Each structure stands twice: as structure tokens, then as C-alpha cells.
Chain A
Amino acid sequence: MDRASTVEKQQNLAPAYVGQKDVPLPESPVGTPKPQFKISGLRVSYGAKEVLHGIDLNVFANVVTALIGPSGCGKSTFLRSLNRMTEVVRDARIEGEILLDDESVARMDVVKLRRRVGMVFQRPNPFPKSIFDNVAYGLRINGYKGRLSDAVEHSLRRAALWDEVKDQLGKSAYALSGGQQQRLCIARALAVDPEVLLLDEPCSALDPITTAKIEELLFRLKSSCTIIIVTHNMQQAARSSDLTAFLLDGQLVEYQSTRKLFTTPSDPRTEAYITGRFG
């Protein structure tokens, strides 16, 4: 029972936070999930204010993991520490250990790390360049040797945007609608072929139809990469993720298969949150 042992291991890291011994892992399209990120004792503070008070959690490969929790609970900070985007903020201090495929993230070359762990932000942030140049940006700075146009087309197809923009690749990215811009940003992140894709509330600025499109996209992407999505929209977490972690006040309250967490949460605080009693 490989799967169970994985769970064991995870529980060893964080016995306090996982309610039940026998957390069943979700059905995975690639068979046995393996932990890709191993996070232990993660504390992050900005200046004198500590935002995360020691998080232990494993993120599994080729699975969509959702992070939920009320705003200010530290879920974005958690996500940003995975590709060391926390370092962009002045006075940020990070303690604890994050391992990506058993290699310490902190000791990795940050450029290499961010190429392996892509990120999509809350609001679409295309560069003031053409659609093509946006997608090609990551390839160019990483010295891509192949044919750029092929790689750009491939990424746009993966982001389900190709058909809409194939005739206007030279146009400014600002000419696109909000939803298209966000898919462009996903394509931009996918272009460097990351192993992990971090999404920080990617749909908060989008309408429901566009949101549905992006959720569908995530479902298709998980066969080729690991996805971690932060959301405050519980329906979205329930619809699109396999595993869900609930954070509250900088602490991990519960980490479960999504179905279980939303139907029979083991922690009363989780129940209170998902039934809408706070947050």
C-alpha cells in the first residue's frame, strides 16, 4: 500500500493537523501520487508580523491541490513561498524547510526554481507587449534554442487560447478581454514547461463563464503538471481540486481529499468555514 504509506508519512510530519488516520487519497489519473513538495515547519513573517506559524504539508504530483481559507489566513503567502516569490517583498523572513523533489528550495538557484514552478496571479498581468512576445518571454530569457513560434503555439493550445488569438499574435496583449488575458498568463507560465503551476486566486477578477473555462483547463493540465490553486471560492475548490487544505490564521487546520473535506470535515472550524459561519 504505497498510497497509505505516503499518507502515513504526511501524518508523521503533521500529526496535529490531520484529523483522521485513514485519509483516503483521491483517485489519481496517474496511479500512485508521489509527494512533489515536502513542506515542514514553514514560518513566514513580514517585518515583525508573522503570517504563517509553522505549516507542515505535502503536495502530491499530478494532483490539483486547493488552498482555502478566509482572506488574510496566509494562503497566498504559502503559495508564494513555494517559488520564493516571498523574497520580492522587503523584510520577508522565511523559516522551515521546503523540498521540491527532495531538493531544498532555499538552496536552489532561484531562476531554475521559478522555471520549474510557474505562477499565475490574481489579476491578469500581461506585459505591455504583443501576445506572441508575452508567451515567448520566459523562453527567451531562458535561452530557448528551438523554434519559438512552435513553442508559443503549443503553449497557447495548452491554455485553450490558440483558436481565439492565432490570427492576432502581433497584437498588444492589452487588447484581449480579462479572461483571455488570464489564459494568456497561464500560457506564458506553461511555455517554460514547469513541473508545478501555482495559481493565486486566478479567477477572482473573472466572470463565471470564463471561470468555468479556466477550471476545465486546470483539469486537463493536471496530467502534465502539478497544480496548486489558492481560492476563496469554495465551490471552485470543490469543483476543480482533488485535495484541499484549509488554512486559518496562518495555521493548517485540515488537509483532506476534497470530497471528504466538503462533506464530512473532521475539524469543527473547517465545518464552520465551509458552511459559511465565518470568513
Chain B
Amino acid sequence: MSLRGRWRKFVNAAMLGITALFAITTVSVLFFILGYLAYHGGKNVTWNFFTRLPAPVGEPGGGMANAIIGTAKLLFVALVIGAPVGIFSGVYLSEFGGKGPSFFVRYTADLLNGVPSIVIGIFAYAVIVMRAQHFSTLAGGFALGVMMIPIILRSTEQFLKAVPRPLREGAMALGSSKWRTVLTVVVPAASSGIITGVMLALARIAGETAPLLFTAFSDRYWSSGFNQPIASLPVMIYTYAIGPYKDWHEQAWTAGLVLLGLVFVLNVATRLVFVRKIAAFS
């Protein structure tokens, strides 16, 4: 073989090897994160962590029960705001909207999707906190809900569009009107996909910190109702990580592990369910 031919073969092997190495590097970051969190946070995953309030500043011990409930409450508010708007808008884009208006709405949603989360926080601050003059669960949930809308909207639209035309025609041929066809056939057929989109949107916002800093703020005690500041896992991780106490750092690792667990379980579970449903559908 000529020298040039050998050189080409060498370059080929070397470059392909490098891409493989890069791919392995990328994925190993994931395993590093998982492993490190499991190692540092795992030893403090105790019953107390889930059931106790934070200890008074400077004292060791305590848990993050209020932050766990707080995250749940914030996600609930976000879901109540984001899911209906996202799903109904998705139905509009897929079923009712004309070309022009649909393009405009889709474009706006993509724009909203790209807005940095800290800017969404400013927005929620301006429209809720400034007016009410205090931080609240509602403001934090609103910020997260706004972030959910474009994600849910696009996935709903996609899954509705994937519903085969013969199904729609089957319903229309029975004398079903359009809205009825959508409600009784198209949406049910796409329901697992729509739910997947909502779950993935939840997973995406569950770990958001920036939009909560000056909307939900934080709290070291239980927060009742929806009109008071509230603690959340991500904000607690942040506060504890930059705090001066060793014990806080330990708890930040633990909270990080719990949060990552929540996000990953949401991701993996929805994908597994979704893959099975899609297989059953075709």
C-alpha cells in the first residue's frame, strides 16, 4: 500500500477514535455526577432529612421537610398554570389554527422557551411580587408554570399531529363534529404522549433555582397556603452550598442527590412508559 494510502487509513482510525473518546468523555461526566452525589449525599439520606425542619442557623442536624413539601407545592402551582395553557394551545396549533396564526403562536412559544430562567424570575417578580409586596408560593409557581408552557405546547402539538388521519376520519364519518372528534378520539389517542410531555416539563422545572430566588424566596419553617414565601430543594441547595457551615454542605449534597433522583426518575419513568405505549399504538 502506498504511503499516502496508509496515512489516510491512519487519519481515519485516529479521528474516529477521537470521536469515540469524546463520546465516552461526555457520558462519563454523567456517571461522575451520579457517582459523586451518591457517594457524598448518600450517607446522609436519613429519615430525619425528609421529616425534620432545618435546624436553627449554626446548629447541626435538622432536615429539609419543608423544602420537599415546598417543591411539591411549587410544582403543583406550576402544573395548574402551565398544563392547561400548554395543552389547549397545543390543541389549537394542531387542530384549529390557520397557517399564519399557528406560525405566530409557535414562534412566540419558541421565543418564550429560550428566555433565560432568571429573566422569567424578573417577570414573575414584576407582575406578582411587586404588586403583592411580598414573596409567595404563587409567584414562584407562576414563574415555573410560565416555563412549562412552551415545553408542553410543543410536545402536545407534536403528539396530536402524529395521530393517524384514518382515526379522525373514522370519527368524522360517524357524524362526529370536529371538536368532538378531537375530544373523544384524537386527544385520547395522544394522551400518553401528552402526559409524557407534561412529565418531562415537570422534570425540567423541578430543578430550577434562578426563577425562585426572588419569587418564592425561601423559608426555614413551614409555609402555609400559597401566599407566603416558601422553601424549595433547589434554593436550599444553593443557600446551603454557599453557606459557611460544614454541616450545611453535607446537607446540600444530600438535597442534591434527592433532587437529582427526583428529576431522573421523572425522566426515565416517562420515557419507559412512553416507549411502551408507542409500541402498543403502532
Contacts and interface: CB of A to CB of B under 8 A. Distances in A.
Direct contact of A and B (CB under 8 A): yes
Interface of A: 83, 85, 88, 110-115, 118-119, 121-123, 125-129, 137-138, 141-142, 174, 185, 188-189, 192
B189 A119 contact: no
Given A121-B166, A128-B189, A141-B184, A114 B172 contact: yes
Contacts of B280: 174
6 contacts: A88-B172, A111-B177, A125-B164, A128-B188, A141-B174, A185-B170
B180 interface: yes
Contacts of B176: 111, 137-138, 141
B260 interface: no
Interface of B: 164-177, 180, 184-185, 188-189, 280-281
Contacts of B174: 114-115, 118, 137-138, 141, 188-189, 192
A85 B177 contact: no
A78 B170 CA distance: 17
Contact of A119 (B173, B177, B281): B173
Contacts of A83: 173
Contacts of A188: 170, 174
Nearest to B188: A128
**Residue with the greatest number of chain B CB neighbours at <10 A, chosen from A114, A118, A185:** A114
Given A121-B170, A127-B184, 15 more contacts: A83-B173, A85-B169, A88-B165, A111-B175, A114-B173, A121-B169, A121-B173, A123-B166, A125-B166, A125-B167, A127-B167, A127-B185, A137-B171, A188-B174, A192-B174
B169 A88 contact: yes
A86 to B, nearest CB: 11
A85 B167 contact: no
Given A128-B189, A141-B184, A174-B280, A189 B167 contact: no
A141 to B, nearest CB: 5
A190 to B, nearest CB: 11
**Residue with the greatest number of chain A CB neighbours at <10 A, chosen from B172, B177, B184, B281:** B172
A110 B178 CA distance: 11
**7 nearest CB pairs, A to B:** A119-B173, A138-B174, A125-B166, A114-B175, A115-B175, A125-B170, A111-B175
Contacts of B173: 83, 85, 114, 118-119, 121, 189
**Residue with the greatest number of chain A CB neighbours at <10 A, chosen from B168, B173, B177:** B173
A88 B281 contact: no
Given A138-B175, A141-B176, A127 B170 contact: yes
Contacts of B170: 121, 125-127, 185, 188
Given A128-B188, A128-B189, A192 B175 contact: yes
B203 to A, nearest CB: 26
A119 B172 CA distance: 10
A137 B172 CA distance: 11
Contact of A129 (B165, B169, B172, B188): B188
**Residue with the greatest number of chain A CB neighbours at <10 A, chosen from B171, B174, B188:** B174
Contacts of B189: 127-128
B95 to A, nearest CB: 12
Nearest to A116: B175
A125 B169 contact: yes
A5 B1 CA distance: 89
A141 B175 contact: yes
Nearest to B167: A125
Contacts of B164: 125
A122 B170 CA distance: 11
Contact of A127 (B165, B171, B175): B171
Contacts of A125: 164, 166-167, 169-170
Nearest to B192: A128
A141 B280 CA distance: 27
Nearest to B168: A88
A129 B184 CA distance: 10
A192 B175 CA distance: 9
A137 B175 contact: no
Contacts of B171: 127, 137
Nearest to B170: A125
Nearest to B191: A128
A128 B171 CA distance: 12
Contacts of A141: 174-177, 180, 184
A174 B174 CA distance: 19
Contacts of B180: 141
Contacts of B177: 111, 141
A128 B184 CA distance: 10
A121 B189 CA distance: 18
B241 to A, nearest CB: 47
